[in-house]
Structure 1
Amino acid sequence: MQEDWLKRWQEGRIGFHRDTVHPLLERYWPELQVAQGTKVLVPLCGKTLDMRWLKEHQHPVLGIEMSEQAIEQFVAEGNGDVARYRQAGFGVLRQGSIELWCGDFFHFHVEQAAEIGAFYDRAALIALPEATRQRYAFHLAQLIPPGGKGLLISLTRQDEGGPPFHVEADEVQRLFSPNFTVAHFQDGERGPDGFRESCWALQRRGPGDS
């Protein structure tokens, strides 16, 4: 899967990338009531403009992306000086209040996540095959502190292709409900490509939460 992902960026096969901010982020992020200044984790972030939207709404952002090419394109298309350094085995680029960690999401551990208080997933869960999605949900739960909130966008499709992969509502519940409260915001209209997105609010459970 990693090789295919990197090859997509190398060949410019990035039809999943949006040239505008995702409307579900604009519509529903305010409803989470995440405090300004809360750092937001964006797994498998690509070069999404959604990170700039979060920054403009007073959230420091930590994106994790395997493709160095995606990260370089993101900072090249932005404004401001870029700092480069290495930390915990990752190459890190920082531009303003956005830091991008180049490497495997599953190698990012809680020690590096100390400042993270929220997350946004538009393209991580649905980029992973079924066998890896359980591991992703568990690892995400280790990185988000009790009470931490997140916005998740899942996708269903009429064929069996992917990525992005088909993820039903009951799978979202099954994957995340052991560690998060899960609330459904909206199902979108099915597009001409056969894709339909769904939007979810998640909040990390703490000790004793039912």
Structure 2
Amino acid sequence: MEASFWHKKWERGDINFHESEANPLLTEHFEKLNPVRGSRVFLPLCGKTRDIAWLLASGYRVVGAELSEHAINALFNELGLEPTISKAAELVRYSAKDIDILVGDIFDVSAEYLGPVNAIYDRAALVALPALTREQYVSHLMKITDAAPQLLISYEYNQLLMDGPPFSVNQDEVKQHYGATYQVKSVESRNVVGGLKGKVASTETTWLLQKANK
């Protein structure tokens, strides 16, 4: 996906992917990562997700990466926080108590800029990327987070019936991307009520990724 694709979506308010409440799969399964209160949770391609408010209210610290500055201005406004804004090379950092968001290209985010991460929550990043970019993304994500444990949400549907994003990422692909580094476990799989975007039958799966013992 070109950066302009996402910038235009945010500028037009074409954000059907944005949920008005915290994702129930997050609230139901995040504790399976065994996070300690105060843990720092990374949300790649976070947008202005309400999941951030839930994580903060639950006692976690949040670090995110997002392409759209428009989305992050809206996020801080909705959180009622006044961010400190600074430059970090190609990125812009928005910071407030317990929250840091890096605005720019996810591939410009380094381990140095990101800082220590205790867990990853990926609801909308892997599935937002086309097939040729997903492998690069997974490799980069594991590098900058030292393969922190992860809660991942994916969709599976007939890609011929609808263009992504979100794209269809099946079980075999999840295991192909993560299986060499993580123990990969499906903790819930359910049909998307009414179909994905109201168009196609789809299964939504929540994955628990824990670093494999070598």
Compute the TM-score of the two structures, normalised by the length of structure 1: 0.93
Instruction: Name the residue aligned to 1:155.
Output: 155
**How much does 1:191 deviate?**
2.4
Contact 1:40-1:120 at 8 Å conserved across structures: yes
Q: Deviations over 1:66-97 (max 9, x none)?
A: 00110011111112332111123311112321
Contact 1:144-1:204 at 8 Å conserved across structures: no
Give the gaps of 5 or more residues in structure 2.
none
Moved more, 175-184 or 12-21: 175-184
The one-letter code of the counterpart of 2:48 is K
Aligned length: 206
**For residues 4 and 31 of structure 1, do their structure 2 counterparts lie closer, same or farther at Cα, with a shift above 3 Å needed?**
same
Moved more, 153-162 or 98-107: 153-162
Identity %: 33
Tell me how far apart the structure 2 counterparts of residues 13 and 85 of structure 1 sit (CA, whole Å). Answer: 28
Q: Deviations over 1:115-169 (max 9, x none)?
A: 21111000000000001111111111112236x3110000123424110101111
Contact 1:123-1:153 at 8 Å conserved across structures: yes
Residue 93 in structure 1 maps to residue 119 in structure 2: no
RMSD (CA atoms):
1.4
Instruction: Name the residue aligned to 2:5.
Output: 4
Instruction: Name the residue aligned to 1:169.
Output: 171
The one-letter code of the counterpart of 1:27 is E
Instruction: Name the residue aligned to 1:104.
Output: 105
Moved more, 184-193 or 120-129: 184-193
Contact 1:44-1:123 at 8 Å conserved across structures: yes
Instruction: Name the residue aligned to 2:121.
Output: 120
**How much does 1:98 deviate?**
1.4
Compute the TM-score of the two structures, normalised by the length of structure 2: 0.91
Tell me how far apart the structure 1 counterparts of residues 112 and 164 of structure 2 sit (CA, whole Å). Answer: 32
The one-letter code of the counterpart of 1:170 is D
Instruction: Name the residue aligned to 1:189.
Output: 191
Q: Deviations over 1:180-204 (max 9, x none)?
A: 2211101112321233210001123
Contact 1:180-1:202 at 8 Å conserved across structures: yes
Instruction: Name the residue aligned to 1:204.
Output: 211
Instruction: Name the residue aligned to 1:28.
Output: 29
Tell me how far apart the structure 2 counterparts of residues 67 and 195 of structure 1 sit (CA, whole Å). Answer: 28
